[in-house]
Amino acid sequence: MKEPCFEADFDVIMENFVRSYHYLNLFVYDKKQKFYIREMDFLARLGESLGYFTFFRDRGMDPRYQREEPMDLAWYAKGRDNDHYRIVLRVETGKLFLKLHDELTKKILTAGKSGHMPPNLLAIIHTDQDNTALEFVKLLNHNYRMPAKSLIIFKIFNFDKKIFHKMVCWQLPLKKSTPSRTVLVDTGINGLISLHFKDQSGYYKLNGDLYTKAQYG
């Protein structure tokens, strides 16, 4: 019997990531490496809470996706016979400055030695402009073999700051009706970072106030 496929609900993953970000205890003066560690750990714990096995720096426990360069994080499900793991989500990070598209696509889209590609991709990419992010999304959508479903999160940085000021999130495959979602950064008095969706009236503020039902941006 064919094993059921994991259906990536990226809306749920994105909601969890944004609404829970302040629990990561990341501050404006923290190094980027700390952001990477805390974000990957959060996504690993989220996967485990959904019943999956998670592995950092994974080279492919599922033999179809074995590769030379490790994935930043992978979610796995056990096969029906419990003697093998089946990858359900691949998480990658990267940078997109100076339009180095080829280097980034090689990292986030590398297939396994057998030519197989994990069915779902979540990529967190650092860049400096919204237009650069949009160009890259269009490039991926039209010019590359992509997983069945992808969520690409762009963290937009100002060059005069060490911290990102917003995120722009796209789900692929891209359609004319596919909107991006913009996430804005809040910093408290002590520099603790929290996130909320743009134009969203109901989100959890650090003082504990919970407003009305969320309006998506």
* pLDDT per position as a tens digit, 92-149: 999 987 667 888 888 888 766 656 778 899 999 999 889 989 999 998 988 888 888 9
Is residue 61 scored above 60 in pLDDT? yes
CA–CA distance from 201 to each of 10, 167, 177, 204, 216 (Å)?
21, 18, 24, 10, 9
Please say if the pLDDT value at position 169 is more than 80: yes
Asked if residue 213 has pLDDT above 50, the reply is: no
In the sheet that holds 193-197, the strands lie side by side as 53-58, 71-78, 85-96, 120-127, 149-157, 164-172, 181-187, 193-197
- Residue-level pLDDT at 147: 86
208 pLDDT tier (thresholds 50, 70, 90): very low
Task: Tell me the sheet residues that pair with 86.
Answer: 77
What is the residue extent of each domain of the chain? 31-197
Here the tokens at position 127 are 């860049």
Q: Are 181 and 197 in contact (CB under 8 A)?
A: yes
List the structure tokens of 39: 């974000």
What confidence score (pLDDT) does residue 5 get? 52
Rounded to whole angstroms, how far apart are CA atoms 117 and 62? 11
Position 108 scores a pLDDT of 84
Q: Locate 44 and state its tokens.
A: 């690993």
Q: Judging by beta carbons within 10 Å of its beta carbon (0-12, 13-18, 19+), is residue 131 exposed, middle or buried?
A: exposed
pLDDT at 60: 65
- 210 to 16, 115, 133, 191, 207: CA distances (angstroms): 16, 47, 32, 21, 9
Confidence class of residue 64 from pLDDT cuts 50, 70 and 90? low
Q: How far apart are CA 72 and CA 57, in angstroms?
A: 5
Evaluate whether 188 touches 171 at the Cβ level (below 8 Å). Answer: no
Q: How many residues does the chain have?
A: 217
Span 13-34, average pLDDT? 95
Structure tokens, 45? 């714990």
Q: Kindly state the tokens that stand for 80.
A: 């029906």
Rg, C-alpha atoms of the chain: 18
Query: Do residues 27 and 188 lie in contact, with contact meaning Cβ atoms separated by under 8 Å?
Result: no
- Which two three-digit tokens encode residue 9? 């609900």
